[in-house]
Structures are given as C-alpha cells and as structure tokens.
Structure 1
C-alpha cells in the first residue's frame, strides 16, 4: 500500500482489486482444507477459529444488553467469554449459541466482500475487529494470539502487492468456511468421551431444555449449509 496520509489509506482500503484467476481460487481452497484436516497446521490455525468463536459470544452478548467482562484465550485453543446479566432468557441463549456458528458466518461475510472485489477492505475490517477485541482480552496468551493474528494481516495488507493480498484473503475465507465445521465434530467427540456441563451445547441444554446433542446437530447443520453456499458462491 503506497498511501501516506490517513485519508489516502482509507481511500485505498475501499478501492476494488481484481480477483485472482479461478485456478488460484481453487488452489487456496485446497490449501485451506489441508490446514483444517492435517493435525499440525490445524493445531496452530485453530487459534484463529477460537478468536472468531469468542468474538461471536462477545458481540451477541453486547447486542443483547449484557455487560461484557472480558475474554480469555488459552494455549490449548479453548477460550471463555464472561458477561454479566440475567443467567437465562433469550439474550443468554443467543449469546451461548453464537460461538460455534460465528467462524462460518465470518467466512460468508468474507465471500460477500470478495465478490465485490473488496479484498483490501476485507483485510482491514479484520484488523479493526481484532483491535476492538484486543480491548476485551484479559490474559497474556490471548493478547499474543490476537496481536499476532492482527500483525500478520497488517503486514500482508500493507507490504505485499495486490496479488498476494488476494491469495491471502481467499485462503483466509476458505479456511473460515472449512474450519467452522471441524470444531462441531470435536465438540461431540469430547462430549462423548468426557462429558462436561460447561460446553456450549450443554449450557444450551440447561437454558432451553433442548438436548445438547440437538444443539450440536444445529451447529453442524448451519455450518455445513454455510460451507455449501460458500463453495457455490466462490466456484460458480
């Protein structure tokens, strides 16, 4: 990015950029799928999914009028978002339900920007959201995780040519679409292996009376539907 003043920066951010060729869009999708399926890359990249997951809890908590206390991200890629308010009711239900579907919805939002050729805008909106989330982080690992992710996106958006930005943006969007699905299977596997009353599905069970397994099915159904829509939008 060659802009020097604040006004020029924002003008450049919202300019349109050409999409990469179709073969490169497919290639970024393959790379993103590998990052989700292979244990090593997934162990690292899953931190981004946790950021989105906890960000979804936080956003809905604020929109529903709850008082947000803070967010903690842990090195095992788990996280927790703490808010104050009524311990039950529709606001609490929406807050708890938001986590597992947020990564997929982030991917879908990314597609909408990419279809409008707003590649740099996608990167900078991500930076702003990470900066806002950083204000809510309450532990060192969480700060490192959010700052590291934001720094990577900033370096790509500021120091690389439009072609590299496009590849990164498409790879990120594909990743969020694919990555939204795997944690749902991990959630059910963990519930089967080591039941915990603190999982999102089991909290929703207590809040609604609907079995936790049904909530896992709901998360999976939404994320698979978003993935199918995303593939169709990007490929056809």
Structure 2
C-alpha cells in the first residue's frame, strides 16, 4: 500500500506517516494461531451466551437484503434491526423475478459470506482492510436504518471500528478483526437453527425468508432451510481453516 509523501514502512508491515501516526495499516501481518483460537472461543461464547451475536448477525442479515436489492435494481425503503435479534428490510420492485429472489436469499447467506471473506483477507494479512470494509458497510446500512435501536447498534459498532483502526495498537486491530470474523462465521449456523425452530413452532408458515423463497420457487421451505444450513456450515468450516492455518 502506498503512503502519502513522507511515509515510511516498518518491517512488520505497518504503514505510518512521518510527523505523527495518523493510521496503522496492517497489510502483511498474519496472526499467530493462538490469536485465532482464543478469538474464536470468545466469539463462540458471545454467540451462545448473549444476544449481541444475534443482533450483529441481524444487522448483517438485513444489510445483505438491502445490498442485494440495490444491486438488482430494487428500491430500498427502510431497514429495521431489533433488540430481540430480529429485523426487516422493506424494498420496492417487481413482485417476482430474479431480483426479488436474490434479495430474499441474501439474508441468511450474508453473515456467513462476510465471515469467510473476512477470514480470507485475514489469512493474507489484510487486517485493516477488514475493519475499513466493515465500517463502509455499517455507514451504508445506517443510511437506510429507521428504528432507534438499529441506529444505536450501528453507530456503536462503527465507533468501535474507528477506535480499533485509528487509535488502538496493532495487536488490538488484529484481535478485533479476528473476533468479528469469527462472530460472523459462528452466528450464521445459529441463525439458521433459530429459523428452523421458529418454522417448526409455527407449522412452517412463519413468513420467514425460507417461506418467501418457497412461494417464489414452489420449492418447499424446508429445502431452503437446509440450503442455508449447508452454506453457513461450509463458510464456518472454510473460514475456520483459513483463520487457524493462516
């Protein structure tokens, strides 16, 4: 990465600007295996023992819907992220077709995909890139989020990324980026399990993404639950391999 005039690069791959440190850009630093293991265990604890994993997963889930809608030409009207781990995305466009299908399918595939892509970047030492891309994603999602809890959650996450990327030591960037990647990888399978429980409790008529895909494709909702589960588990395994063996 090229630094502005007067910049220099340290041996550990940290780019700094002379006359004061304005940014610590980790571009070639890979974490020891111990960091990947400990952050993975911490993320697993958060996913299993608190609501924060579900809430962050919900934000990325709804962000997946919104991004897919935008890319396929649909109008994104509003996004809600709720404190109970739920959420909703309102879009406007054709009532059928590939655009709507991709918009609906992007929810449960969003967090696992973010997790495995983050793991890939981290495995090649691009630590700061993970934090920067996450910040851009949160800013974009904040622009269309309309409920108070969702806005506070996104602003809080954005603030944490700014603190980690600009004001924290290099090791803090490393640990935080790995923790976030693990959180996405592990929350994906959990959200699909919650989807299965909700559908089973409602007799399969919960109005979930799987049920909407069933209406669009005439393929039973249980197939889409299994597809989401397979994709999230593959991403979790692939991401874990990338992080632990980086």
Same fold (TM over 0.5): yes
Measure the CA separation in 1 of the matches of 2:130 and 2:214. Answer: 36
**Aligned counterpart in structure 2 of residue 34 of structure 1, from 19, 36, 45:** 45
Gaps of at least 5 residues in structure 2 are: 1-14
Q: Which has the higher helix share?
A: 1
1:116, CA displacement in angstroms? 2.2
How many residues matched?
Answer: 228
What pairs with 1:154-173 in structure 2 (closer than 5 Å)?
154-173=162-181
What pairs with 1:61-76 in structure 2 (closer than 5 Å)?
61-76=69-84
Measure the CA separation in 1 of the matches of 2:18 and 2:85. Answer: 37
Q: Where does residue 115 of structure 2 map in the other structure?
A: 107
Q: Where does residue 144 of structure 2 map in the other structure?
A: 136
1:194, CA displacement in angstroms? 2.4
Measure the CA separation in 2 of the matches of 1:65 and 1:222. Answer: 25
Q: Where does residue 222 of structure 1 map in the other structure?
A: 231
Measure the CA separation in 1 of the matches of 2:233 and 2:212. Answer: 22
Measure the CA separation in 1 of the matches of 2:53 and 2:235. Answer: 20
1:51, CA displacement in angstroms? 0.8
Measure the CA separation in 2 of the matches of 1:147 and 1:226. Answer: 27
What pairs with 1:11-90 in structure 2 (closer than 5 Å)?
12-13=24-25, 15-38=26-49, 41=50, 43-90=51-98
1:45, CA displacement in angstroms? 2.4
1:199 aligns with 2:236: no
Contact 1:67 1:84 in 2 (8 A): yes
1:210 aligns with 2:225: no
1:197, CA displacement in angstroms? 4.1
Measure the CA separation in 1 of the matches of 2:141 and 2:169. Answer: 27
1:59, CA displacement in angstroms? 0.7
